[in-house]
């Protein structure tokens, strides 16, 4: 028999030799598998939650669901609740619109242009015979196609003092004789919230409305024209006037189609807009270009410093003194990179009556008023 001391002395030698053989198999091997499955599920979850997945999967899926839901609601005359409107206003349309603007500016291969633009032409009834260049392969990007110019003679500019600034559908027109004016029938918006603080006039009346009027025998009139996706996307000066002040509101980018304008009171005071203020032959005159969903930008030819749909807080206001910027009737004023809205607010005599009514289709250069025709004789 070996003494215990010698046995203990051999243990350090024996133990390393038999460590691998004596080591039992790992218990609970199944636990390791569950751990790996959990890790794999976490990786899969992050794949669906990263920025690329949000852009390539969730945004298109959400857009399809939203468009389908809008179609269903419109077809069954669905009454929208305030909660739905609130959720709609919370959607990040500014981010998606910037993304859309970048996509629309990408150059398309020549082989795809006829198919892509041709599909758009059929969907929105675009009249390419009016375009300066009807060849679809000429336009390098969707943005270039949206802002295509008209051929010479496609529009007749009426000799009336005030004409339509763009092609589109009239949402509302008529006198605006209070601080609350209609955006569509039965739905109003605030004149002061839309134009902002009156810094351009020395005239201080008892109310905001009175501070705008230069000749007290006149009243304000308004004309709201919605540009659909298939319309000519450039807009022109409606009259001979002088612009002295510009105010840019960095608001939301909600849809401004007629159906949405009936649902959301004060829609035009919430959306991003560039308001140009000045005077014409009867007194106060303003022209506002209102942004909307998927409008990459609003461009004003005589105001290159204007930058719309930029990153930052939505309640920013940027102001610019323009001096004496003379603008002639029919002159190109600016363009939308997608359909949107033009709002005219101007001072005119009380007997100024519009030639058209809400729901009518108008074209660039069409006379606004029958009274204007009588005055031009």
**What is the distance between the alpha carbons of residues 339 and 229, in angstroms, rounded to a whole number?**
5
66-70, 75-79, 282-286: which range is least confident on average?
75-79
Q: Is the pLDDT of residue 50 over 80?
A: no
Task: Read off the pLDDT band of 234 (50, 70, 90).
Answer: very high
Q: Which residue has the higher pLDDT, 233 or 99?
A: 233
* Among the listed residues 368, 285, 311, the one whose alpha carbon sits nearest the alpha carbon of residue 92: 311
**What is the distance between the alpha carbons of residues 130 and 144, in angstroms, rounded to a whole number?**
16
Q: Is the pLDDT of residue 156 over 80?
A: yes
Task: Read off the pLDDT band of 277 (50, 70, 90).
Answer: very high
- pLDDT tens string 288-325: 999 888 765 889 998 988 888 888 777 788 999 988 99
Span 98-117, average pLDDT: 88
Number of Cβ within 10 Å of residue 263's Cβ equals 18
Task: Read off the pLDDT band of 105 (50, 70, 90).
Answer: confident
6-10, 133-137, 261-265, 368-372: which range is least confident on average?
6-10
Q: Residue 180 has what pLDDT?
A: 84
Q: HSE on the CB side for 198, CA within 13 Å? A: 19
Q: Which residue has the higher pLDDT, 138 or 204?
A: 138
* Among the listed residues 317, 261, 262, the one whose alpha carbon sits nearest the alpha carbon of residue 293: 261
- pLDDT tens string 198-232: 888 877 777 888 889 988 899 999 999 999 888 99
Contacts of 101 (CB under 8 A, 6+ apart): 143, 294, 295, 296, 297, 309, 337
CA 93 to chain centre: 8
* Among the listed residues 345, 358, 320, the one whose alpha carbon sits nearest the alpha carbon of residue 209: 345
What string of H, E and C letters represents the secondary structure of the chain? CCCHHHHHHHHHHHHHHHHHHHCCCCCCHHHHHHHHHHHHHHHHHHHHHCHHHHHHHHHHHHHHHHHHHHHHHHHCCCCCCHHHHHHHHHCCHHHHHHHHHHHHHCCCCHHHHHHHHHHHHHHHCCCHHHECCCCHHHCCCHHHHHCCCECCCCCCCCCCCCECCCCEEEEEEEECCCCEEEEECCEEEEHHHHHCCCCCCCCCCCCHHHHHCCCCCEEEEEEEEECCCCCCCEEECCCCEEEEEEEEEECECCCCCHHHHHHCCCHHHHECEEEEEEEECCEEEEEEEECCCCCCCEEECCCCCCCCCCCCCCCEEEEEEEEEEEECCCCEEEEECCCCEEEEEEEEECCCCECCCCCCEECCCCECEHHHHHHHC
- Predicted TM-score (pTM) of this structure: 0.77
**What is the distance between the alpha carbons of residues 131 and 366, in angstroms, rounded to a whole number?**
18
81 dihedral zone (left: phi>0; alpha: psi -120 to 50; beta): beta
Residue 252, both tokens: 């939301």
Query: Looking at the annotation, which residues are catalytic?
Result: 167, 236, 340
- pLDDT tens string 246-267: 999 988 888 888 878 888 888 8
Q: Residue 332 has what pLDDT?
A: 94
87-91, 177-181, 216-220: which range is least confident on average?
87-91
Provide, rounded to the nearest whole percent, the portion of the chain with pLDDT above 70: 76
Mean pLDDT of the chain: 80
Q: Which residue has the higher pLDDT, 117 or 18?
A: 117
- pLDDT tens string 58-75: 666 776 676 666 666 555
- Domain ranges, ordered by start, for the chain: 53-146, 168-376
180-184, 189-193, 355-359: which range is least confident on average?
180-184
Do residues 302 and 327 make contact, with C-beta atoms less than 8 angstroms apart? yes
17-21, 103-107, 295-299: which range is least confident on average?
17-21
């Amino acid at each position: 028999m070996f003494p215990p001391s010698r046995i203990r002395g051999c243990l350090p030698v024996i133990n390393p030799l038999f460590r691998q053989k004596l080591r039992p198999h790992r218990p609970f091997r199944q636990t390791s598998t569950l751990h790996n499955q959990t890790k794999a599920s976490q990786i899969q979850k992050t794949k669906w939650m990263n920025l690329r997945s949000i852009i390539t999967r969730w945004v298109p899926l959400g857009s399809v669901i939203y468009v389908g839901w809008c179609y269903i609601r419109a077809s069954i005359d669905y009454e929208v609740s305030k909660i739905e409107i609130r959720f709609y206003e919370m959607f990040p349309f500014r981010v998606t619109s910037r993304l859309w603007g970048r996509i629309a500016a990408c150059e398309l291969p020549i082989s795809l242009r006829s198919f892509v633009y041709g599909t758009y032409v059929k969907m929105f009834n675009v009249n390419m015979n009016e375009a300066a260049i009807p060849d679809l392969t000429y336009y390098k990007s969707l943005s270039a196609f949206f802002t295509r110019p008209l051929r010479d003679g496609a529009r007749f500019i009426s000799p009336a003092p005030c004409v339509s600034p763009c092609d589109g559908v009239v949402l509302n027109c008529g006198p605006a004789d209070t601080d609350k004016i209609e955006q569509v029938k039965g739905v109003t918006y605030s004149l002061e919230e839309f134009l902002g603080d009156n810094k351009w006039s020395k005239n201080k009346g008892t109310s905001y409305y009175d501070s705008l009027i230069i000749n007290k025998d006149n009243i304000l009139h308004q004309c709201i024209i919605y540009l659909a996706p298939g319309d000519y996307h450039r807009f022109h000066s409606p009259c001979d006037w002088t612009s002295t002040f510009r105010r840019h509101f960095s608001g939301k980018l909600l849809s401004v189609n007629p159906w949405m304008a009936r649902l959301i009171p004060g829609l035009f005071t919430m959306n991003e807009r560039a308001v140009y203020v000045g005077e014409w032959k009867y007194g106060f005159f303003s022209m506002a270009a209102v942004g909307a969903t998927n409008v990459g930008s609003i461009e004003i030819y005589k105001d290159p410093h204007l930058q719309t749909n930029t990153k930052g807080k939505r309640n920013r206001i940027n102001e610019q003194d323009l001096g004496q910027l003379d603008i002639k009737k029919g002159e190109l004023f600016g363009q939308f990179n997608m359909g949107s809205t033009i709002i005219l607010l101007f001072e005119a005599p009380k007997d100024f009556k519009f030639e058209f009514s809400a729901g009518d289709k108008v074209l660039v250069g069409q006379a606004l008023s029958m009274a204007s025709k009588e005055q031009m004789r």
